[in-house]
Amino acid sequence: MRNIIKILLFLSIVILIFLSDFFNIQNINIYGNTNILDNEILNNINRDRNIFLIRINPIKDYIYKNPFVYKVDISRNFLTREINIQITERVAIAQIISENNYIAVDRYKIIFPSNSRIENIPIIDMGNIIFTYGEIINIDDDIFKIIKKISNIFNIYKIDNENINLIIQSTENINLTYENINVKFGDYTNLNEKIRIFLSIKPSLSAYKNVGGTLDITDINKNWIFSILT
């Protein structure tokens, strides 16, 4: 008899916990989001649900559909009846220009929206490409390794990328355009030194932006060559 009473008491407590409005979600805390609005997440969560009954995985799956999201962790605090959502957003290592639109790409080749120029990362001119946000961009792995290397250089030197576009046709043919000047780097060897040379010359190149020209830094063991367009 005592065991039956204990079981009934236990079941009553369980029913009380799962059915009582007292255990409904009181607050949802979202952290780490800068490009994702809180409402984009909150609109998919029923705040009138019991915190013990709320399903975490569907919430995660919904958040992961946003191309900005790299990682999401969700925890519940049963005492305060709060849900804590920690979001880690993707970090752009480069921007791709396609039909005058900016597209951000992270170190895993995943692309996500970018409405404006991001400072201190390379901007790659790729012409017209087909892409889907949240998926891997179609770039050759060897070329993408060069993009990551250039991104590190831009970050180290805090390079102002305004009016600077990179055109990487192959691992042997890397070019940069600045104003109306075409800068030839050739292959990826000594790329750090080649970019450093360009930065040292860059202030004087502005004088030729109206006429245009070509700067050849393909061989760092030779003097760089600048020729004006004729």
Residue pLDDT, tens place only, 22-58? 678 999 999 999 999 999 999 888 888 888 888 999 9
Cα–Cα distance measured from residue 179 to residue 32, given in angstroms and rounded to the nearest whole number: 37
For residues 106 and 209, membership in a common domain is answered with yes
Q: Is residue 143 part of a domain?
A: yes
> Which residue segment(s) compose the domain that 119 sits in?
94-228
CB 38 within 8 A of CB 63: no
For residues 49 and 111, membership in a common domain is answered with no
Model-level pTM greater than 0.85? no
**Residues ≥6 apart with Cβ < 8 Å to 168:** 124, 143, 146, 147, 174, 175
Residue with tokens 């979600």: 25
CATH code for the domain in which residue 213 is found: 3.40.50
Q: Is residue 2 part of a domain?
A: no
For residues 70 and 174, membership in a common domain is answered with no
- Fill in the DSSP letter of residue 53: T
Tokens of 96: 């791709």
For residues 104 and 85, membership in a common domain is answered with no
For residues 77 and 160, membership in a common domain is answered with no
Measured CA angle at 43 (ends 76, 52), to 5 deg:
25
User: So what's the pLDDT on residue 102?
Assistant: 85
Average pLDDT, the chain: 87
The total domain count for the chain is 2
Residue with tokens 């008491």: 9
Q: Is residue 16 part of a domain?
A: no
For residues 158 and 211, membership in a common domain is answered with yes
For residues 102 and 215, membership in a common domain is answered with yes
Q: Is residue 9 part of a domain?
A: no
For residues 106 and 199, membership in a common domain is answered with yes
For residues 173 and 192, membership in a common domain is answered with yes
Backbone angles phi, psi at 194, to 5 degrees: -65, -45
For residues 115 and 224, membership in a common domain is answered with yes
Instruction: Quick: pLDDT tens for 83-115.
Output: 999 999 999 999 998 877 889 999 999 999 987
For residues 79 and 142, membership in a common domain is answered with no
Residue with tokens 């070509």: 214
User: So what's the pLDDT on residue 10?
Assistant: 45
Q: Domain boundary residue among 89, 115, 137?
A: 89
